[in-house]
């Protein structure tokens, strides 16, 4: 599989990145051993890059996959913690649960933050810089849905890698549109920083346009890799074959457009899911129940763990 360097970081990654979000408890909540088998299959077949996060709760199966295969991939994680101590704890948790001495990339998990993001995360960023100096992190990054923040990151000396949202439909981008994000990505790349992409399939919404969506994402100037969530061996194999240049036709039967469901009989209308939604896709309707706009939903699953009634599922 094609590999590229993430800017000037010295970190070389496969063009296809294994996205660990969907297999975890925020979405499919697959059995841990099965999750490990997915990651193991990916590692054995040319993927050397895994993207995860503190909130994804997928460290253990990734660690198990590394142990089973003897392969140490490039690992990116992230946390939304805003204090120095909390971010330090988040990084140490990742190192401990992954059983590694250093993590390749650690992001500020700041998807929907606006242009004051670097003020809000000043302590966290200081922590990540210190941990980088100590050798616990190779590169410091930011995960963002904002074209404006992505552009700002290009000018930040303490940011090495940017993980922006972009897809052919422009779904999920804030503070600009698809063209603005393309320009930001080019600016980031020209500044010598690494870039890899999220939500190229818009959370599964573009599965029926897989080839078109992938051709668009793969053609974005400055990007080294594309993170795709995978929840079955068939999906992992399909994506690997596509990125290796083989002809692929029908999507595997296990692939389906994900959707977030709210069980109205359980929902109490507390609104906690609204603040957790990164794309402002949830409202409280006239029946005092949460309601999801499927045209805005990114199926990220960030709303599921905050619901005190367990009324939301991503399926």
Q: Kindly state whether residues 49 and 83 are assigned to the same domain.
A: yes
Contact yes or no for 86/57 (Cβ under 8 A): no
Q: Kindly state whether residues 229 and 264 are assigned to the same domain.
A: no
Q: Kindly state whether residues 133 and 239 are assigned to the same domain.
A: yes
> What range defines the domain where residue 306 resides?
260-314
Q: Kindly state whether residues 285 and 166 are assigned to the same domain.
A: no
More confident: 217 or 255: 217
Residue 228 has pLDDT above 90, yes or no: yes
Confidence band, pLDDT 50/70/90 cuts, at residue 94: very high
Residue 257 has pLDDT above 80, yes or no: no
Tokens of 279: 């794309």
Confidence band, pLDDT 50/70/90 cuts, at residue 314: confident
Mean pLDDT over the full length of the chain: 92
**How large a percentage of the chain has pLDDT more than 70?**
97
What's the pLDDT score for residue 207? 86
In a domain, 255, yes or no: no
Q: Which residues pair with 142 in a beta bridge?
A: 108, 162
In a domain, 248, yes or no: no
CA distance 294 to 258: 10
CATH number of the domain bearing residue 303: 3.30.70.20
Name, in order, each residue with C-beta under 8 angstroms of 98's C-beta and a sequence gap of 6 or more: 59, 62, 63, 66, 75
> For the chain, how many structural domains are there in total?
2
Q: Kindly state whether residues 105 and 201 are assigned to the same domain.
A: yes
Stated pTM of the model: 0.87
Buried b (16+ CB within 10 A) or exposed e, 86-100: ebbebbeebbebbeb
Residue 227 has pLDDT above 60, yes or no: yes
Stretch 18-40: mean pLDDT, rounded? 94
Q: Provide the H-helix boundaries in 121-230.
A: 122-133, 147-153, 178-190, 210-218
Angular region, 70: left φ>0, alpha ψ -120 to 50, beta rest: left
Stretch 86-103: mean pLDDT, rounded? 98
Q: Ranked by mean pLDDT, which of 4-18, 233-247, 258-272 comes out on top?
A: 4-18
**How large a percentage of the chain has pLDDT more than 90?**
75
Q: Kindly state whether residues 97 and 123 are assigned to the same domain.
A: yes
Q: Kindly state whether residues 23 and 79 are assigned to the same domain.
A: yes
Tokens of 226: 């594309």
More confident: 255 or 90: 90
Q: Kindly state whether residues 124 and 220 are assigned to the same domain.
A: yes
Stretch 233-239: mean pLDDT, rounded? 95
Contact yes or no for 53/262 (Cβ under 8 A): no
In a domain, 66, yes or no: yes
Q: Kindly state whether residues 186 and 63 are assigned to the same domain.
A: yes
In a domain, 34, yes or no: yes
Q: Kindly state whether residues 201 and 238 are assigned to the same domain.
A: yes
Tokens of 174: 């804030």
What's the pLDDT score for residue 276? 84
In a domain, 250, yes or no: no
Q: pLDDT tens for residues 39-65? A: 999 999 999 999 999 999 999 999 999
What's the pLDDT score for residue 278? 79
CA distance 8 to 257: 36
What is the DSSP secondary structure assignment for residue 47, as one 8-state letter?
Answer: -
In a domain, 8, yes or no: yes
CA distance 110 to 215: 27
Domain boundary among 243, 276, 306: 243
Q: Kindly state whether residues 157 and 271 are assigned to the same domain.
A: no
What's the pLDDT score for residue 129? 98
What's the pLDDT score for residue 28? 87
Stretch 24-47: mean pLDDT, rounded? 95
In a domain, 232, yes or no: yes
Q: Kindly state whether residues 296 and 178 are assigned to the same domain.
A: no
What's the pLDDT score for residue 163? 98
Domain boundary among 191, 212, 243: 243
CATH number of the domain bearing residue 110: 3.20.20.100
In a domain, 53, yes or no: yes
Confidence band, pLDDT 50/70/90 cuts, at residue 251: low
Tell me which of 25-34, 71-80, 87-96, 293-302 is least confident.
293-302
Backbone φ and ψ for 113, nearest 5 degrees, come out as -70, 150
Domain boundary among 218, 243, 268: 243
């Amino acid at each position: 599989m094609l590999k590229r360097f993430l800017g000037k970081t010295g970190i070389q990654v496969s063009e296809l990145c294994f996205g660990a979000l969907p297999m975890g408890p925020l979405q499919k909540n697959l059995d841990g051993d099965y999750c490990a088998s997915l990651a193991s299959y990916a590692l054995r077949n040319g993927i050397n890059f895994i993207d995860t996060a503190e909130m994804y709760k997928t460290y253990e199966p990734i660690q198990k996959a590394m142990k089973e295969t003897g392969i140490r991939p490039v690992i990116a994680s992230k946390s939304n913690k805003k204090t120095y101590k909390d971010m330090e704890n988040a990084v140490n948790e990742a190192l401990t649960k992954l059983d590694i001495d250093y993590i390749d990339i650690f992001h500020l998990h700041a998807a929907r933050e606006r242009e004051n993001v670097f003020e809000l995360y000043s302590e966290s960023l200081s922590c990540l810089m210190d941990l980088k100096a100590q050798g616990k992190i190779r590169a410091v990054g930011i995960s963002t849905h904002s074209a404006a923040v992505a552009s700002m990151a290009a000018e930040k000396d303490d940011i090495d890698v940017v993980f922006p949202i972009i897809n052919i439909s422009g779904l999920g981008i804030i503070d600009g549109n698809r063209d603005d994000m393309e320009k930001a990505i080019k600016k980031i790349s020209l500044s010598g920083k690494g870039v890899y992409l999220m939500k190229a399939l818009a959370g599964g919404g573009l599965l029926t346009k897989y080839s078109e969506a992938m051709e668009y994402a793969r053609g974005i100037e400055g990007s080294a890799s594309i993170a795709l969530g995978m929840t079955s061996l068939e999906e992992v194999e399909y994506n690997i074959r596509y990125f290796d240049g083989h002809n692929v036709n029908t999507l595997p039967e296990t692939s389906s457009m994900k959707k977030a469901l709210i069980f109205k009989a359980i929902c109490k209308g507390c609104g906690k899911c609204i603040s957790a939604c990164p794309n402002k896709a949830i409202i409280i309707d006239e029946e005092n129940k949460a309601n999801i706009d499927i045209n805005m939903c990114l199926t990220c699953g960030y709303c599921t763990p905050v619901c005190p009634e367990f009324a939301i599922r991503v399926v």
